[in-house]
Chain A
């Protein structure tokens, strides 16, 4: 079996300066639950991560002790709620090294952040004949909004192809960019293949032709350090719930000059400066994009989530996941009949898609569920990629820092059982 990186998997009780894994796991109440005596083995963090007590407490403390609407009241708990809400924005800005908190717009999730750009920026900036460049491994949320925009504006949608290992093929990038591309929308990490894409390189070459760059960070921001100034992207979209935060809130980072030039996305309260019956002027960035009462508790929870991750250290998170991913790939490839999709471990994150012989992924996932092992089965909102892989669906196991090699061993035992039941 694989030699595990001692630095990343040795509990901190034996080393100074790194988190103690047992204590980390104890922070997540759900990780100590079981069903019919079988402990929960959660290998679906690419769909949504589990939540530590600190995040749950931050939200329930808000509801229990200072619940009030933000940005309006002059009374004490409203000011306290406003301060906590804006502290969440500042914490998230620091987490991705945004220049200012005002670069961060709260949305419902990654999908809404991308749609915000498609509706607000796209419908005013994309002209007939322009092109938008995406790739063959995008999640539907970073594909369908651009299809709709292209159709509405008479623009063209271009796609970066993949190589045989599921990496973006950049050979023809400059040729594609030269076809009137105004926006490149690309994910930093594939939710199916785990491929980590060279978005800084893509951004550099896109900017050379004057195109803007939107990075779908739903799978990357939770798993390794992401620095928007180093990437030099114009937009970065990500969701709290995949990074130990609550559902119902996400963020759009935007370059200040780009956000300033964008009209509102949704209209209503909180996003205005002055309203008469005839017309209105709009609030400054980022309030311009936050119409109506926001998910206040969730933003506060989101702030607690990035604080939790920062205390662990995103370098530690990255290194630990790298070691777990290597162990997962090694373990899966030792099982006869298992096909693994995607690039080698050094070019990928911890979302690993595979198939077991010709057993349907739903049957694999159902059998694993009998052992209380949670994995994903299906097309993972990536039907074009499934077509390229020539499969209808895959099973996906995805790890986060709180997973263990013991859990991966349990997955392997479960997959051996799948082979016995199906005789494959």
Chain B
């Protein structure tokens, strides 16, 4: 019944994602997808001075990609932009706390990739 991969904390974030939704007039936004599986994550950011005051994410995809994105929003909110950019990718893998196969590492890091692009201020190629 229990699963090595799908620990309760991951399933919790998947079912009840933190900081889920959109921001009105965000200071930064970015969206990307994993072409292999179609997972999508989009992130909106708002700054208060140097600090990330609000984060929202949305997307669709597997539990690992969505739970990892949810966990990452908790790690970023309240940080300065510089500190948030310094979060290493290993941190999100540690936060998930389960062994991931190489294929599933890509799922786990989709949200990270999108968050970093938003923090860097990469123009959103999906924006109209």
**How far apart sit A377 and B37, CA to CA, in the bound complex (Å)?**
8
Residues of B within 8 A of A361 (CB): 37, 62
**How far apart sit A288 and B6, CA to CA, in the bound complex (Å)?**
54
Interface size class of B (residues with CB under 8 A): 10 to 19
- Count CB-based A-B contacts (< 8 Å): 53
CB interface residues, A 361-396, toward B, < 8 Å: 361-363, 366-367, 370, 377-379, 386, 392-393
Residues of B within 8 A of A (CB): 1, 3-6, 11, 15, 36-39, 60-64, 104, 107
SS of A interface (majority): helix
**How far apart sit A363 and B11, CA to CA, in the bound complex (Å)?**
11
**How far apart sit A29 and B4, CA to CA, in the bound complex (Å)?**
28
Residues of B within 8 A of A360 (CB): 39, 61-63
Would you give the 0/1 interface string for A85-97, flagging 1 where the beta carbon is closer than 8 Å to chain B?
Answer: 0000000000000
Would you give the 0/1 interface string for A387-424, flagging 1 where the beta carbon is closer than 8 Å to chain B?
Answer: 00000110000000000000000000000010011110
Contact of A421 among B6, B60, B61 (CB under 8 A): B6
In chain B, what residue has the closest Cβ to A364? B62
SS of B interface (majority): loop
Residues of B within 8 A of A370 (CB): 3-5
The answer to whether B107 and A362 touch across the interface, beta carbons within 8 angstroms, is yes
Name 17 extra pairs, CB < 8 A, besides A361-B37, A421-B3. A361-B62, A362-B39, A362-B61, A363-B6, A363-B62, A363-B64, A366-B5, A367-B3, A367-B5, A367-B6, A370-B5, A378-B36, A392-B61, A417-B3, A421-B11, A422-B63, A423-B15
Interface size class of A (residues with CB under 8 A): 10 to 19
**How far apart sit A320 and B15, CA to CA, in the bound complex (Å)?**
42
**How far apart sit A291 and B107, CA to CA, in the bound complex (Å)?**
41
The answer to whether A362 and B64 touch across the interface, beta carbons within 8 angstroms, is yes
Residues of A within 8 A of B107 (CB): 362
Q: Taking each of A360, A361, A367, which has the highest tally of chain B beta carbons within 10 Å of its own beta carbon?
A: A360
A288 shortest CB reach to chain B, Å = 37
A393-B38 contact given A360-B62, A362-B64, A366-B104, CB 8 Å threshold:
yes
Residues of A within 8 A of B64 (CB): 362-363, 366
Residues of B within 8 A of A420 (CB): 1
**How far apart sit A332 and B99, CA to CA, in the bound complex (Å)?**
29
**How far apart sit A363 and B37, CA to CA, in the bound complex (Å)?**
11
The answer to whether A421 and B37 touch across the interface, beta carbons within 8 angstroms, is no
B21 shortest CB reach to chain A, Å = 19
B16 shortest CB reach to chain A, Å = 12
Residues of A within 8 A of B3 (CB): 367, 370, 417, 421
Sampled A-B contacts (24; CB under 8 Å): A360-B62, A361-B62, A362-B39, A362-B62, A362-B104, A362-B107, A363-B6, A363-B62, A366-B5, A366-B62, A366-B104, A367-B5, A370-B3, A370-B4, A378-B37, A379-B38, A386-B38, A392-B61, A393-B37, A417-B3, A420-B1, A421-B1, A421-B6, A422-B6
Closest 8 CB pairs of A and B: A360-B62, A362-B62, A392-B38, A363-B63, A363-B62, A421-B6, A378-B37, A393-B38
In chain A, what residue has the closest Cβ to B5? A366
In chain B, what residue has the closest Cβ to A369? B101
A292 shortest CB reach to chain B, Å = 31
**How far apart sit A386 and B5, CA to CA, in the bound complex (Å)?**
27
Residues of A within 8 A of B37 (CB): 361-362, 377-379, 392-393
The answer to whether B5 and A392 touch across the interface, beta carbons within 8 angstroms, is no
In chain B, what residue has the closest Cβ to A362? B62
Would you give the 0/1 interface string for A183-212, flagging 1 where the beta carbon is closer than 8 Å to chain B?
Answer: 000000000000000000000000000000
**How far apart sit A393 and B60, CA to CA, in the bound complex (Å)?**
11
Q: Taking each of A367, A421, A423, which has the highest tally of chain B beta carbons within 10 Å of its own beta carbon?
A: A421
A417-B1 contact given A392-B38, A393-B38, CB 8 Å threshold:
yes
A419 shortest CB reach to chain B, Å = 11
**How far apart sit A379 and B36, CA to CA, in the bound complex (Å)?**
8
**How far apart sit A423 and B4, CA to CA, in the bound complex (Å)?**
17
CB interface residues, A 57-72, toward B, < 8 Å: none
Would you give the 0/1 interface string for A19-63, flagging 1 where the beta carbon is closer than 8 Å to chain B?
Answer: 000000000000000000000000000000000000000000000
